[in-house]
């Protein structure tokens, strides 16, 4: 395949927590075949990987950072319990840890490659795209899963996990200069997923309907009401599969690990590399068939 045909591209990296380490394998694949990236968008764990790449870290360096993380050390150094804020973890120490050990005080607007971080505005449930400000604070907001992390106040709004609007942040990427958009999905399998069907069944249940009604009524003035609104948002987010805009492509990879298996990041990275190879080989095969068809006079 002519690599120039694929230059430049924009990458939209979805969430998936520990499974999101597969994004590193994808980045390694694009680098290996010589395809450059002109814009990055990320949500949740994908925001962490997108930010590192946009700030100039090569895939092997990102892999080193992901592999070296010790979960117990991470908990010891970055976790601040936030039950008083209706969350297991408040998140401020996590942001400071990211700023100190991963992003080194960088701001979004300083990225070598254009970067956008997807978040969700808690009260409206709509997308908020962060294009400036602290990278660590933006990533903290994009990873803020209600009940686990506290909401993140930015410019008068309470922001939470960007995956609630789009599991793969194509709309966020559309705000950046990208000639061709490619998204990577590493979260719940979208086709035939038993877990996804169970979550959708919960969303249709009577308690969930009650939660949704109460969440609409609440104004979110205190942590517990924000938790209720966040939990409602979380459940409603499973109603829709990843949407792929016209002209864009979606690569799906299913790492054989659970969302909390951060110690198994090498397996997720390898799964990402395999998914890239399957996608790339498929594109090359399609290109070869098209060229053969033209050579035989099919394009006359």
Chain-centre distance for alpha carbon 242: 12
Please indicate whether residue 171 is annotated as part of the active site: no
Half-sphere exposure at residue 271, Cβ-oriented, CA atoms within 13 angstroms:
22
Half-sphere exposure at residue 207, Cβ-oriented, CA atoms within 13 angstroms:
7
Q: At what angle do helices 45-54 and 59-68 cross, to 10 degrees?
A: 140
Please indicate whether residue 161 is annotated as part of the active site: yes
In terms of Cβ atoms closer than 10 Å to its own Cβ (0-12, 13-18, 19+), residue 47 is buried
Point out the catalytic residue in the list 44, 78, 171, 232.
44
Point out the catalytic residue in the list 99, 161, 237, 265.
161
Active site residues: 44, 161
């Amino acid at each position: 395949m002519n690599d120039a045909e694929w230059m430049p591209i924009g990458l939209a990296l979805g969430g998936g927590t520990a499974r999101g380490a597969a994004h590193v394998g994808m980045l390694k694949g694009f680098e290996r075949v010589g395809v450059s990236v002109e814009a990055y968008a990320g949500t949740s764990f994908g925001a962490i990987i997108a930010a590192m790449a946009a700030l100039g870290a090569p895939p092997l360096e990102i892999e080193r950072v992901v592999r070296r993380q010790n979960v117990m050390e991470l908990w010891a150094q970055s976790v601040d319990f936030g039950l008083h804020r209706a969350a297991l973890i408040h998140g401020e120490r996590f942001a400071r840890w990211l700023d100190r050990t991963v992003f080194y005080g960088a701001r979004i607007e300083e990225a070598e490659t254009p970067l956008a971080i997807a978040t969700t505005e808690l009260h409206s449930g709509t997308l908020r795209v962060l294009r400036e400000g602290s990278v660590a604070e933006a990533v903290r907001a994009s990873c803020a899963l209600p009940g686990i992390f506290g909401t993140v106040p930015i410019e008068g709004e309470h922001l939470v996990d960007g995956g609630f609007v789009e599991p793969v942040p194509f709309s966020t990427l559309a705000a950046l200069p990208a000639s061709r958009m490619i998204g990577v999905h590493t979260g719940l399998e979208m086709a035939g997923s038993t877990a996804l069907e169970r979550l959708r069944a919960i969303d249709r249940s009577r308690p969930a309907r009650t939660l949704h009604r109460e969440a609409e009524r609440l104004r979110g003035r205190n942590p517990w009401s924000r938790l209720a609104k966040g939990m409602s948002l979380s459940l409603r987010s499973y109603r829709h599969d990843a949407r792929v805009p016209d002209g864009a492509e979606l690569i799906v990879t299913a790492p054989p690990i659970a969302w909390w298996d951060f110690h198994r990041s090498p397996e997720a990275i390898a799964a990402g590399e395999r998914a890239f190879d399957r996608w790339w080989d498929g594109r090359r095969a399609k290109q070869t068939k098209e060229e053969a068809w033209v050579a035989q006079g099919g394009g006359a």
